[in-house]
Amino acid sequence: MKPTQEMNISLVWCLLVLSFAIKVLFSLTTHYFKVEDGGERSVCVTFGFFFFVKAMAVLIVTENYLEFGLETGFTNFSDSAMQFLEKQGLESQGPVSKLTFKFFLALFCSLIGAFLTFPGLRLAQMHLDALNLATEKVTQTLLHINFLAPLFMVLLWVKPITKDYIMNPPLGKESVPLMTEATFDTLRLWLIILLCALRLAMMRSHLQAYLNLAQKCVDQMKKEAGRISTVELQKMVARVFYYLCVVALQYVAPLVMLLHTTLLLKTLGNHSWGIYPEPVSTLPVDHGLLSHSVQSELPSADGKMKVTVTQITVALSSLKNIFTPLLFRGLLSFLTWWIAACLFSTSLFGLFYHQYLTVA
């Protein structure tokens, strides 16, 4: 199998898994909207508006502080699209304005934030329960690192905190560069994957902490006055075990989203794992040579079919020049950063809520 075919298969696989994870979170969120008595609907709507405002504020920040490459990618996309439309004989100032692009991107980010609200709140509760169950210092340290993992991912794109100090650390009067920009991008990808692996490894501790809620509920019911029937006690314990599947999905789905956006960032952004240098083609595509090679592969086709195939081939190559790695690098970097930021924001709010606002 050729490397390009392997890359296409991995790309399709990442897109399918990412869309499936988003669909699972969407289904869980719609379930919360169907509940009439509780306040889950209000919580989702409130966090959706909060993340919409937060996304608009983040998109205003310049590249000197949050280095996504989104401005550069959008400018390259707009210029390439204008050149493509001019070649087709159409006059246009661009496919979409920057303000419209950022507005729809912020709207999409608000939906992601609403989907990640209850997974983050649930993670905070399981984190507190897992800390109470953990007796070894190593396990407690890993739990703390696991909870702060989204914060570490967020800081990887804050240029004054990470990139400036890692690439050019101030050593006396001179600044000695420790690594290149490509090496830093590779290091960032590896750190995200390692933190995702840590979260997956700590999944058992968190799910066990959730299952222990049944024992906590039983102990609390024993303290209450009045008689408790055995049927009610069994229903309460069974409810915890039946809801374990939803809790597992809330734990795994954001992790899958974060991992596969990172893989898409590596593939579509032309990054490298650092194991071997990956060639990046920067030469322009010769459409005449490409169409001639396509026509030579169709010796038995008539003239109309050759012209149609040639036009489709040229159009596909032009679209490849429009959707460049600069655009995907900026867009996927922002989405990866945004998923980590939403997870940490909701988990931090859940930690504050479960520790200070719900007193047993």
The pTM assigned to this predicted structure is 0.85
Domain boundaries, the chain: 14-273+324-357
Q: Do 274 and 186 meet the contact criterion of CB atoms below 8 Å apart?
A: yes
Distance CA 38, CA 28 (A): 15
Per-residue pLDDT of the chain (360 residues), as tens digits, is 455 666 677 788 888 888 899 999 999 888 888 877 768 888 999 999 999 999 999 999 888 888 898 888 888 888 887 877 777 766 666 677 888 999 999 999 999 999 999 999 999 999 999 999 988 999 999 999 999 999 999 999 998 888 877 777 766 666 667 778 888 889 999 999 999 999 999 999 999 999 988 888 777 777 766 677 777 777 778 888 888 999 999 999 999 999 999 999 998 888 888 754 454 444 344 444 444 444 454 444 455 665 565 655 655 566 677 778 888 999 999 999 999 999 999 999 999 988 887 754
Tell me the C-alpha to C-alpha distance, in Å, between residue 288 and each of 71, 83, 233, 294, 295. 32, 18, 76, 10, 11
Residue type, 21: A
CB atoms within 10 A of CB 51: 26
